[in-house]
Amino acid sequence: MRLHALAALFVAVAPAGSLAFEVHGHRGARAAYPENSLAAFRYAIGAGVDYIELDVRLTKDDHVVVHHDPELSAERCLDGEGRSVAPGVAIRSLTLAELRRFDCGSRGNPEFPHQRIVPGTLVPTLHEVFELVRDLPDPNARAVGVHIELKAHPSKDFPSAREYASLLVPILSEHGLLDRTVMQSFNFRLSSVANRLAGKLGRKESPKLVSPPASWLSRPLVGILHLLRMRVVPWTVNDREGWERMIALGVDGIVTDDPEGLIRFLRERGDR
């Protein structure tokens, strides 16, 4: 079961040249700002991440939006009247215009007590995230990679893998980010189709990357993955003890909710 799930997390390509130890800001930087928000991505890029990690889903009218869970969080999101979102409001059940009525930044996440409150935070479209990357004056925005997890919730009204990929991948091409993006999914067919389409649109062949849960890893397993010419970037590791353990295992990067803290830690070690 674990090997099957690990296979589902294979990312077809990583941007060429990204061979130093990588810091991937999980959902932007959710230890500091509301997850998968423009504020979190802006902060992560300013902190110096190598990748912003994000999740994509589809609205009812097939807009690609950036959100992790299949449903809006009743704990973190408010409706247009400032009330808690009712349970069970699925992203796929809402048009983009309907989704824009919800505020997912006025309440903090109790898992991250230092997370800043950003009232009026909307679920962004993937276009908006890429426009942010394009328009930021920060030099890191010119080089930062994008690590996308393709979320799928199969149902009778959900598109096929080919249709999903045809909605997503052209956005990467439009913004000139094909060679700066990695795509993965627990739905292996979906990630395979998306990466094949990216290749057809001109993405160059690059090193392969695997992103498993950190708890799965051991030094022998990391060694095997390296023999398979895979770069290993586990998730989600948020403290110095965990960072030290992952580095001792020989990983190639870390997905973290606290990218600024990880970058500071690496600089203290002389590794950045």
Average of per-residue pLDDT across 261-265: 98
Q: Tell me, what's the pLDDT at 154? A: 67
Asked if the model's pLDDT at residue 180 lies above 60, the reply is yes
**Least reliable range by pLDDT among 13-27, 40-54, 131-145, 258-272:** 13-27
Q: What contacts 228, CB < 8 A, 6 or more positions away?
A: 208
Q: What CATH number does residue 143 fall under?
A: 3.20.20.190
What percentage of residues in the chain have a pLDDT greater than 70?
91
Asked if the model's pLDDT at residue 24 lies above 70, the reply is yes
Average of per-residue pLDDT across 84-93: 94
Q: How many structural domains are present in the chain?
A: 1
Q: How confident is the model at residue 90 (pLDDT cuts 50, 70, 90)?
A: very high
Average of per-residue pLDDT across 237-249: 98
> What is the rounded distance in angstroms from the CA atom of residue 247 to the CA atom of residue 272?
13
Helices and strands: H and E segment counts in the chain: 9, 9
Local structure of 59: helix, strand or coil: coil
Average of per-residue pLDDT across 38-43: 98
> What is the rounded distance in angstroms from the CA atom of residue 153 to the CA atom of residue 157?
10
Domain containing 48 equals: 2-269
Q: Tell me, what's the pLDDT at 8? A: 46
Q: What contacts 66, CB < 8 A, 6 or more positions away?
A: 36, 54, 55, 56, 57, 123, 124, 125, 126, 129
For 250, phi then psi, to 5°, come to 90, 20
Strand partners, 51: 24, 145
What percentage of residues in the chain have a pLDDT greater than 90?
86
> What is the rounded distance in angstroms from the CA atom of residue 150 to the CA atom of residue 164?
9
Whole-model pTM? 0.93
Q: What contacts 222, CB < 8 A, 6 or more positions away?
A: 232, 249, 250, 251
The total of other beta-carbon atoms located within 10 Å of residue 78's CB is 20
Average of per-residue pLDDT across 101-126: 97
Q: How confident is the model at residue 14 (pLDDT cuts 50, 70, 90)?
A: low
Express each pLDDT in 189-233 by its tens digit. 999 999 999 999 999 876 688 999 999 999 999 999 999 999 999
Q: Tell me, what's the pLDDT at 20? A: 86
Average of per-residue pLDDT across 82-93: 94
Average of per-residue pLDDT across 79-100: 95
> What is the rounded distance in angstroms from the CA atom of residue 43 to the CA atom of residue 258?
11
> What is the rounded distance in angstroms from the CA atom of residue 26 to the CA atom of residue 37?
11
Q: Tell me, what's the pLDDT at 1? A: 43
